[in-house]
Amino acid sequence: MHTNFVLIDSENVKPKNIETLKHEHFRVVLFVGANIKRLDFAIVNAVQSLGSNGSYVQISGHGPNALDFHIAYYIGKLAAVHPEAHFHIISKDKGFDPLIKHLNDQNVSCSRSASISEIQLVKSTDTRQLAAQFYKKRIASSKARPATVASLQRTIISHFKELSGEDVAKVLEALTTTGHVVVNGKKVVYPDRG
């Protein structure tokens, strides 16, 4: 699975469920305002429990959007070193959305969520859940379904941008195991179409 950087805007959200990110593929960076002298113990304890996969950045300077610019800088810096990574901004600030669109247009995988629990990988860590969600959103009501295994894999990749090739294969396997898809050589058949 690709590395997932979770960049938390602590001025905008009080992060909960940080402990759900205690997996090798997550790296958490909590951004803290320049004037903040104390952090909530539960938050500090959760970030510390991640070991080397959890860190803090106290921004320098003041001003509107100062913390947002720090997050943008770190995404650029990290994307240069980890081009295959996915970046999750945890903030309710919709001002990040134009940046996220631009990053995605530049093939830097990025998304924004209002909370950690909204991150796709956190919401659906079970492959069968991922397969069921994919089927419901991209296949069940679609008139133009992928006709080959390769095109179905590309559709899975575009739906779950942060999945690795191994995880895409697991989702495809779960789709066949549950009977949503039948693979016949390189072709795909959908039993619900009769």
Burial class for 14, CB neighbours closer than 10 Å (0-12, 13-18, 19+): exposed
Q: How far, in Å, CA of 175 to CA of 128, rounded?
A: 8
Same domain, 93 and 135: no
Residue 104 shares a structural domain with residue 150: no
Torsion-angle region of residue 68: left (phi > 0), alpha (psi -120 to 50) or beta?
alpha
Amino acid of residue 100: I
Q: How many residues does the chain have?
A: 194
In this structure, are 115 and 156 located in the same domain? no
Do residue 160 and residue 75 come from a single domain?
A: no
pLDDT tens digits for the chain (194 residues)? 689 999 999 998 998 889 888 888 899 999 999 988 899 999 999 999 999 999 999 998 888 889 999 999 999 999 999 999 999 999 999 999 999 999 999 999 999 999 998 887 776 556 777 788 889 888 988 888 999 999 999 999 888 776 777 778 888 998 998 889 999 999 999 987 54
- Domain C-terminal end among 103, 123, 143: 123
Give CA–CA dist 178/98, Å, rounded.
38
CATH number for the domain including 145?
1.10.10
Both 92 and 158 in one domain: the answer is no
Q: According to the model, what pLDDT value does residue 77 have?
A: 97
Are 178 and 95 members of one domain? Answer: no
Residues 114 and 132 occupy one common structural domain: no
Residues 118 and 135 in one domain: no
Supply the CATH number for residue 46's domain: 3.40.50
- Check the CA dihedral 138-132-170-54 and report its sign: positive
Residue-number span of the structural domain to which 19 is assigned: 4-123
Tokens 């940046």, located at residue: 99
Q: Are residues 134 and 105 in the same domain?
A: no
Residue 17 sits in the same domain as residue 61: yes
The total number of structural domains in the chain stands at: 2
Q: Are residues 30 and 110 both part of a single domain?
A: yes
Q: Give the pLDDT of residue 17.
A: 84
Instruction: Tell me what pLDDT residue 74 has.
Output: 97
pTM: 0.66
Structural domain ending residue among the three candidates 69, 99, 123: 123
Q: Which of 108, 123, 138 delimits the end of a domain?
A: 123
95 and 20, same structural domain? yes
